[in-house]
Amino acid sequence: MGVSLKDVAQRAGVSIKTVSNVVNNYPHVTPQMRARVQQAIDELGYRPNLTARHLRKGRTGIIAFAVPELGNPYFAELAGAVIDAAAVHDYTVLVDHTAGLREREVLVSQEFRAHVIDGLILSPIHLENEDLLARQESSPLVLLGEREYEAPYDQIAIDNVAAARTAVRHLLDLGRRRIAFLGSRTSRERRPAHLRLRGWREEHAAAGLRPDENLVVATEGYGRADGAAAMAELLERGERPDAVFAYNDLIALGAMRTLTERGLEVPADVAVVGFDDIEESRYGAVTLTTVSPDKPAIARLAVDRLVERLAGGTLSEPQRIRPGYRLIVRESTRTRRTGA
């Protein structure tokens, strides 16, 4: 094994405690003693064993961040933001992905590296409320994402219904009346939350319109391929929307690809709005209008919340925190054809 405190102490001819004091920058150490110990440390190439420190302290300084899919740029960008936010508090981040499978989400929330991680930030897709209520683990958990739960955990998520309504409003203002919704969930679910779909319905209703439910297309997943397939399905059914509101940017991007292939123009024939504002949206041949959640804020809020609970200070009630968002209008909805 490596060099331990004991070895250094022996070398420097002092006690373990003194070495520990030096290593931990304990103030009451005479400069000459510090120098002597430091020399021994350098000579031996001593490096503290963090595992031992963790065991002793009961904390590791590691938090976990679990997302459905790192291949989805939204989550990758968010992961980057979480790592940065955690670094501010000297926390390191263990990243895992669940493929959005309920089973794996449950597993992660229950016992992921127990005692190795101090806390968990989880962005679930198929996790159910009952799974959370059945959770044994005592370490803090912060939830991210579209779904809302009735469980005693902090949840960080933008107001998805309102954000979706803003997006649909924008399309309605453009004069579009056949607005498709791409990306509703296909799997059987107890609480079909579908916040963004609900926003689509509500905004139509608010405008005194009845949306055509035939324009709602479910997808298996949330990737570009799913969006492309959904769009193709819609067109093959003979539907001709004049706008698309997608569950997320990837689906929107996939849909745009299908539109291009079929010779339909964006936005002239079909206007498209996505959700997430991944960087890719700003660089396509036609840039994508999208709902942009404040990712750094989400990451910061989640980490801060977790760190706060870990510090164990005044433990406030679990909160539902709503970071900001903006609709970013780009070429995919920038058209002359305007008004109702």
Partner DNA sequence: GTGAAAGCGCTAACAT
Partner DNA sequence: ATGTTAGCGCTTTCAC
Report the relative pairing of strands 325-328 and 289-293 from DSSP bridges.
Answer: antiparallel
Residues paired with 328 in a beta bridge: 290
> Of 49 and 166, which CB lies nearer to DNA in the complex structure?
49
Q: How far is the CB of 311 from DNA (least distance, A)?
A: 14
Q: Where are the alpha helices (DSSP H) in 123-194?
A: 129-133, 160-173
By CB under 7 A, residue 117 contacts DNA: no
The interface region with its own copies, picked from 88-96, 140-148, 155-163, 166-174 by CB under 8 A, is 88-96
Cα–Cα distances in angstroms (integers) from residue 130 to residues 61, 86, 108, in the given order: 29, 29, 15
Q: Which of 182, 339, 324, 331 is nearest to 267 (CA)?
A: 331
By CB under 7 A, residue 113 contacts DNA: no
By CB under 8 A, residue 97 contacts its own copies: yes
The interface region with its own copies, picked from 47-55, 173-181, 191-199, 303-311 by CB under 8 A, is 47-55
Q: How far is the CB of 93 from its own copies (least distance, A)?
A: 7
Interactions with DNA, residue window 20-39 (CB under 7 A): 20-21, 23-24, 28-30, 33
Decide: residue 83, CB within 10 A, 0-12 exposed, 13-18 middle, 19+ buried: middle
By CB under 8 A, residue 224 contacts its own copies: yes
Interactions with its own copies, residue window 292-311 (CB under 8 A): none
Residue 83 contacts which entry, DNA, its own copies, none (Cβ below 5-8 A, type-dependent): its own copies
> Which residue from 197, 253, 271, 272 is in contact with its own copies, where contact means CB under 8 A?
253
By CB under 8 A, residue 49 contacts its own copies: yes
Q: How far is the CB of 326 from its own copies (least distance, A)?
A: 19
The interface region with DNA, picked from 42-50, 95-103, 195-203, 217-225 by CB under 7 A, is 42-50
> Which residue from 18, 60, 248, 290 is in contact with its own copies, where contact means CB under 8 A?
60
By CB under 7 A, residue 1 contacts DNA: yes
Q: Where are the alpha helices (DSSP H) in 207-340?
A: 224-236, 249-261, 295-311
Three-state secondary structure along 120-136?
EEECCCCCCHHHHHCCC
Q: Which helix (H) or strand (E) holds 19?
A: helix 16-23
- Separation of alpha carbons 152 and 320, rounded Å: 10
Decide: residue 257, CB within 10 A, 0-12 exposed, 13-18 middle, 19+ buried: middle
Question: How crowded is residue 80: how many other Cβ atoms within 10 Å of its Cβ?
Answer: 15
Q: How far is the CB of 115 from DNA (least distance, A)?
A: 8
Instruction: Give the number of residues in contact with DNA, rule: CB under 7 A.
Output: 27
- Separation of alpha carbons 222 and 313, rounded Å: 39
Reported in sequence order, the residue ranges of 98-215 that DSSP labels E, i.e. its strands, are 119-122, 141-144, 154-156, 179-185
Binding site for DNA (CB under 7 A): 1-2, 4-6, 14-18, 20-21, 23-24, 28-30, 33, 46, 48-49, 52-53, 55-58
Binding site for its own copies (CB under 8 A): 1-2, 45, 47-52, 54-55, 58, 60, 62, 69-71, 73, 76-77, 79-80, 83, 92-97, 111, 113-116, 136, 138, 223-224, 228, 253-254, 256-257, 260, 279-280, 282-286
